[in-house]
Amino acid sequence: MATAPPLRDVQCFAHVARHLGFSRAAAELGMSQPAVSQAVARLERQLGVALFERSSRAVRLTPAGAGLLPYADTLLETAAAFTAEAARLAAPPRSSIQLAYAPLVGALAARAARRLAGREPAIDVELRPLGWRAATEALARGEVPAALLSAPFPLGCTTGARFHVAVAHLAVPAGDPLAALPRVTPALLGRHKVLMPRVRPPGGMWARLAGTLRGAYQHQEVADDIDDYAALLDLVAAGIGLLPAPRLLATSIRRPDVRYVPFDAGDLRLTFGLAWPAGRVPAEVTTLVHAVQETLWTR
């Protein structure tokens, strides 16, 4: 045999072998039955072997046909992989962008990433969960073009797609008497410690809450910034302190050792937004801002 048989003929052979019939093979291939029969006959002539035993009632593989079928399947799979890889190499490279984000708003970051991955042309988003300080430093060093983080926003940055997250619950240990109350006010927390960050910028939610809890109240400062609220639930469960809980946390993370009690301490809310270095706005950042805004509008 001087040349390899055409793939189309091999494909017809494999389909007839799978169905043991020319009519069903032809229907699956979108060909006429005579065309499939001719392709198989042509392949048999080129190979010099009979692939099927034909009768008026049935079609059966010959021993040669049964022996060659696995090779035919491998050949067709390799050809399909070859075509797919060629198409991948021929396609223009996908754009990508890195986005740092606060863990609390990870669900929003993920939805924005899916939105960009599904558009045409697609944009891949590399998500990097970072705390406020780490995200700010990554922006300053140029490691990420944008970050989805909470106020106060870094100096020298422009912000967009701002939104608020209400802090309307208090996370308490499941066995604490506060867990049985319909709601909690600051007046009930005199003998409890409240988990807080050491850094509380003026005008921010934590500064307002600290002002409300002046006097006999105790603060348990746990870090410079509070970003990973989910991790702090371990401290709540251990009885180390109570945690003012954003609504996102209360609705997304349920634990048997923690209860979320409505917290009536005034208008407490965290402000989030997309921040990027001031100056010329790269096209990828503009696209990211639009994706976050669209995600907020449709959530």
- The answer as to whether 295 is a domain residue is no
Residue type, 238: A
Q: Which of 9-13, 166-170, 208-212, 232-236 has the lowest mean pLDDT?
A: 208-212
Q: pTM (2 decimals)?
A: 0.64
- The answer as to whether 230 is a domain residue is yes
Closest to 100 in 3D by CA, of 253, 277, 297, 278: 277
Q: If you count them, how many residues does the chain have?
A: 299
The C-alpha R_g of the chain, in whole angstroms, comes to 32
The domain containing residue 263 runs over which residues?
Answer: 99-272
Q: What is the pLDDT averaged over residues 99-128? A: 87
> Which pLDDT belongs to residue 1?
54
- The answer as to whether 211 is a domain residue is yes
Task: Based on the fold, state whether residues 61 and 176 are members of the same structural domain.
Answer: no
CB atoms within 10 A of CB 49: 14
Closest to 258 in 3D by CA, of 174, 175, 180: 174
Query: Of 60, 90, 120, which residue sits at a domain end?
Result: 90
Mean pLDDT over the full length of the chain: 88
36 pLDDT above the threshold of 70: yes
Task: Based on the fold, state whether residues 120 and 235 are members of the same structural domain.
Answer: yes
- The answer as to whether 25 is a domain residue is yes
CB atoms within 10 A of CB 248: 19
Cis peptide before 152 (omega within 30 of 0): yes
pLDDT-based confidence at 251, cuts 50/70/90?
A: confident
Task: Based on the fold, state whether residues 72 and 105 are members of the same structural domain.
Answer: no
Report pLDDT digits (tens) over 69-90: 999 999 999 999 999 888 878 8
pLDDT-based confidence at 220, cuts 50/70/90?
A: low
* 194 φ, ψ (degrees, to nearest 5): -115, 125
- The answer as to whether 152 is a domain residue is yes
pLDDT-based confidence at 171, cuts 50/70/90?
A: very high
- The answer as to whether 24 is a domain residue is yes
Q: pLDDT exceeding 90 applies to what percent of the chain?
A: 43
- The answer as to whether 289 is a domain residue is no
Task: Based on the fold, state whether residues 120 and 247 are members of the same structural domain.
Answer: yes
CATH number of the domain bearing residue 43:
1.10.10.10
284 pLDDT above the threshold of 90: no
Q: How many domains does the chain have?
A: 2
279 SS3 class: coil
Query: Of 90, 115, 139, which residue sits at a domain end?
Result: 90
Q: What is the pLDDT averaged over residues 44-73? A: 92
Task: Based on the fold, state whether residues 86 and 208 are members of the same structural domain.
Answer: no
Q: What is the pLDDT averaged over residues 278-299? A: 81
